Amino acid sequence: MDRHDIALIRFGGVNRALAQIVLDRGDDLAVDLGFTLRIVAITDLRLGSLMQADGIDLAAVFAMDADDTFAGWRGGTAVPQNTYVIRNTTADIVVEATFTNPLDGEPGVSHVRAALEAGKSVVTTNKGPVALAAAELNRIASAHGAFFAYEGSVMSGTPVLRFAAETLKGLRVGEVQGILNGTSNYVLGRMEAGLSLDAAVAEAQARGYAEADPTADIGGSDVQLKVVILANEILGADITPADVDRQGITGVTPEDIARAAAERSRWKLIGSARRDASGAVVASVRPVALPADHALAGISGATNAVSFGTDLLGTVTVSGPGAGRIETAYALLSDIIAIDAKQRTRQAVVA
Amino acid sequence: MDRHDIALIRFGGVNRALAQIVLDRGDDLAVDLGFTLRIVAITDLRLGSLMQADGIDLAAVFAMDADDTFAGWRGGTAVPQNTYVIRNTTADIVVEATFTNPLDGEPGVSHVRAALEAGKSVVTTNKGPVALAAAELNRIASAHGAFFAYEGSVMSGTPVLRFAAETLKGLRVGEVQGILNGTSNYVLGRMEAGLSLDAAVAEAQARGYAEADPTADIGGSDVQLKVVILANEILGADITPADVDRQGITGVTPEDIARAAAERSRWKLIGSARRDASGAVVASVRPVALPADHALAGISGATNAVSFGTDLLGTVTVSGPGAGRIETAYALLSDIIAIDAKQRTRQAVVA
């Protein structure tokens, strides 16, 4: 049976969830998918670095005390040597899960580049490298016979990029628009129930939807990165965050909400990109009062959704979770599954 | 460039729309998809039969007068010889588009069987053969190196079967539930606006959503066939329509609608199938008052939707058109695209 050896860069919530899936369900997955998964490297700012080409004992990693590091482990050190591990790991797939840096995508971009240049495929949910450098990174992947996959950079494990690529073939997609931030959608829903913006944000934080600093959520910059990704991937654009007009939900007032409700409309933070008559891609993030029969009007709570405007099929919409540790770990798993399939096709063609 | 030769069995609205797509956009599609499409046979109860191995002039077919037949055309006759054409056409893909027969699936089942036994792949939107005989027909396809594809048997061109197969890999899907009949969803929505059931049905007929005899729509038997297809395809069940408890919307009263609205709920005709604790598949069609935050509660008008209940990702939903000539023709095109991809993979493996 085929096997993929995996390196986990940053051992935070999402990569821990992926490791847990491999530990708990690896045998079942092997039966379903026809390949096994083995974690051969882990790096983490707090834990340090660990490389074991014969496979890391994940149960031992999960049993570590809160202040333990990989110092003293075979192949381990207390120093987090991300780039060294990416270059030297025996892994064929590197999972990049460092934080999203919306300014220059670092250190994610450098991590992805280093892996691809070494011929290792990369899967990530890190919006930074995808929104800011996908074209360059895809060229590097192609030149080195590797793959770069990032389904989870938009809507966690809910299929969006793969939905467009695999199930809308033969259609012309002229527009994408979505509810791409669960916190702001939750907040708008709670404002419909009578809460102030501040009270709704506080409630979202208490429920774990919003970050301690919710600026990127309610200010729209999180959605801005996702719109760049959707425009470039699905409409074939070549835009950057600066090309996306951005307005968050902080200007939506209780009066706006009440007025919309009286007309059976709902305020939603909509990220959108479309080709205009000249062929240029126009992209924006802004609050919109959607009529009740709009495909995105019924998306409630922290759920996310994307609608695709197509020529032959009209509007098609996918909705599902947009965040969550396990949901995002599934995005990584789905990318690994897709890479395995591409490698098999390539091997078959070569052979 | 690869080419697929196509036989169209019944030249009704959907196959006419497919032929129009081939005529208008064949060159564009060839660039996008890497293969060309050529119609080499057409059969129709009114027009008769036409076989031209070098490709039929579609513009001439569309220019026919209302009472013309294929008599006198090269390779043509006024007699609709479906089975003869299916067996003898030079087509490698047969498009079966006769009417849905919910009792025994005929003549669809015999048409599909004849094509597959001759090694020709079949695409169809005919629910009869899929709901009643998919397992047998898939075995025949496999034994003869052919493919049988039927995305459009549920929700026209909106990807449902392919969504599950291509984008949810590695997940366990334990439940599917959907709004699978546009007429009944439209009718329930108009009852929310104050219309009686009869008035809403009449309006749906005037708008072209409902058939002259709306019994299969509002009585739930259309949804029943689709639930069988979803249960067998997605949950791996082996059920027949008789295994699906069925209740239509004729028992939903204005009082039910008003009571639900007061609780911010909406009545929907829900087709569902799930694996219970024992592993058995339980399937039903019945009206359900959904709370406002349910994934299917916001599906309005004639739109259809299916929600998939998964282990790692929770609930994921696809919504879009459930009917329409062009939308259904796209389902056939998407099946042809999928068959082409499978043939290429197989050829690569064999070579």
B153 and B9 in a common domain: yes
Write the pLDDT tens digit of every residue in B301-333.
Answer: 999 999 999 999 999 999 999 999 999 999 999
pLDDT classification of A350: cutoffs 50, 70, 90: low
Q: Which amino acid is at A262?
A: A
Q: How far is CA B195 from CA B179, B192, B199, in A?
A: 20, 7, 6
Write the pLDDT tens digit of every residue in B197-253.
Answer: 999 999 999 988 877 789 999 999 999 999 999 999 999 999 999 999 999 999 999
For A297, the closest of B157, B298, B334 (CB atoms) is: B298
A276 and A137 in a common domain: no
B226 an active-site residue? yes
Q: At A255, which CATH number?
A: 3.30.360.10
What b/e string do you get for B177-203 counting C-beta neighbours within 10 Å, with b at 16 or more?
bbbbbbbbbbbbbbbbeebebeebbbe
pLDDT of residue B326: 97
Average the pLDDT over A301-308 and give the result. Answer: 96
% of residues, chain A, pLDDT over 70: 99
Average the pLDDT over B168-195 and give the result. Answer: 96
pLDDT of A308 > 90? The answer is: yes
Write the pLDDT tens digit of every residue in B110-167.
Answer: 999 999 999 999 999 999 999 999 999 999 999 999 999 999 999 999 999 999 999 9
pLDDT of residue A345: 83
A173 and A58 in a common domain: no
pLDDT of residue A351: 59
A192 and A266 in a common domain: yes
* B 146-175: CB under 8 A from A: 157-159, 162-163, 166-171
Average the pLDDT over A201-229 and give the result. Answer: 92
Return the number of other C-beta atoms located less than 10 Å from residue B236's C-beta.
Answer: 10
Question: How many structural domains is chain A composed of?
Answer: 2
Write the pLDDT tens digit of every residue in B46-67.
Answer: 999 999 999 999 999 999 998 9
Write the pLDDT tens digit of every residue in A156-195.
Answer: 999 999 999 999 999 999 999 999 999 999 999 999 999 9
For A330, the closest of B301, B312, B320 (CB atoms) is: B312
Query: On the CB side of A288, how many CA atoms lie within 13 Å of its CA?
Result: 16
CB-CB neighbors (< 8 A) of B337 in chain A: 169-170
Mean residue pLDDT across chain B: 96
pLDDT of A318 > 70? The answer is: yes
CB-CB neighbors (< 8 A) of B169 in chain A: 32-33, 334, 337
* A315 and chain B in contact, CB less than 8 A: yes
Best residue of A37, A311, A313 to probe chain B, by most B CBs closer than 10 Å: A313
Q: At B154, which CATH number?
A: 3.40.50.720
* B 258-297: CB under 8 A from A: 292-293, 295, 297
B145 and B38 in a common domain: yes
pLDDT of residue B254: 94
User: Which domain covers residue B264, as residue numbers?
Assistant: 161-320
A234 and A127 in a common domain: no
Contacts for B293 with CB less than 8 Å, ≥ 6 apart: A300, A301
A342 and A230 in a common domain: no
Contact A148, A122 (CB under 8 A): yes
% of residues, chain B, pLDDT over 70: 99
B104 and B50 in a common domain: yes
B310 and B216 in a common domain: yes
Query: On the CB side of B216, how many CA atoms lie within 13 Å of its CA?
Result: 16
Tokens of B1: 């460039």
Nearest to A210 by CA among A227, A230, A185: A185
A330 and A230 in a common domain: no
Write the pLDDT tens digit of every residue in A280-298.
Answer: 999 999 999 999 999 999 9
A284 and A169 in a common domain: yes
B4 to chain A, closest Cα gap in Å: 15
B168 and B312 in a common domain: yes
